[in-house]
Structure 1
């Protein structure tokens, strides 16, 4: 009996995800942050965005780094598909607003398609139960600029207009993360709002 119980317990632990994040069904912490769209800073409010439909909130380690560049580009390329499903996108990182002004307008990455928000002190990431790593001294981005901020773990949350998390997506490669987020919002059955 003990052997069977030990095997079940071991199997259960092995199948747990390697990351901790707020689970599906949990209320999404509301936040306001300085964000950038097309190189221009503005005040972003998750609560206001949810009034228009589902929101894909994706946390990423840093602008202008390998996987983050791929993920931002993939969200930009698929932006119209998200919009057709009634969803908006916001990226969140510990980057400064100055770095995000460049990243949001860069045609190779965000391409002025969606906002990216600055969580410089990591408070938003922590409210979503994401881990944050300290900056590594001397680490530079793909432009050769030193990265002086910490890194939140790459995790995407799909949030419905009632403020609930309907999907928590972590542990995926950047393009898989975007594809899974798109699949999730398409299954929700919302449509683009017309003004």
Structure 2
């Protein structure tokens, strides 16, 4: 058996597994769980800053969505959809932030080109926050597609895991709408 034959069969098996098996190693955090605090580099409109969950929660609920990799088809669709929906989230007092393993330079570009300067994308190349939110993927260097709504009390109010990027936007928007507008 040649090395090329073994490699091709291993690649085929990995591709089939990726289609059949869920991408996360663990289930998402459940509603009611305390959302792990984090502070990490992020970008919006091509500018870098430190995103702090505790600070964002002072303004209202936070939609935290994890995505596998910037500039890939599904992640681009999801970023475009969140960008279009950001004014609706903002009208409800919610902050949207995406997070991936990508480095901050990549996300700076992604924040302009695909997030359309409308919301922040956070970099977690060491996967500390990704692991804390049970968003690790079986694929190395990628997060699973999981979205959370975090209430101002710091607890998960909604979790959605699935491969359809548009569903994440629809479902998190419904979840934020069910919370009502936070008092100012």
Q: TM-score range by the shorter chain?
A: 0.7 to 0.9
Q: TM-score, normalised by structure 1?
A: 0.79
Gaps of 5+ in 2: 1-21
Counterpart of 1:81 in 2: which secondary structure? helix
Residue aligning to 1:163: 154
Runs (4+) off by over 3 Å: none
Residue aligning to 2:9: none
Partners of 1:42 and 1:166 in 2: how far apart? 26
Deviation at 1:130, TM superposition (A): 2.0
Deviates more, 1:18-27 or 1:93-102: 18-27
Judge conservation of contact 1:38–1:101 (CA < 8 Å) in 2. yes
Partners of 2:124 and 2:138 in 1: how far apart? 14
Gaps of 5+ in 1: 1-17, 136-149
Deviations 1:146-186 (A, max 9, x none): xxxx0010000000000000001101511111000001101
Residue aligning to 2:121: 116
1:190 corresponds to 2:181: yes
Out of 78, 91, 116, which is 1:84 matched to? Answer: 91
Number of equivalent positions:
161
Out of 97, 100, 105, which is 1:98 matched to? Answer: 105
List aligned pairs for 1:24-173, cutoff 5 A: 24-106=31-113, 109-135=114-140, 150-173=141-164
Residue aligning to 2:12: none
Deviations 1:51-71 (A, max 9, x none): 000000000001100110000
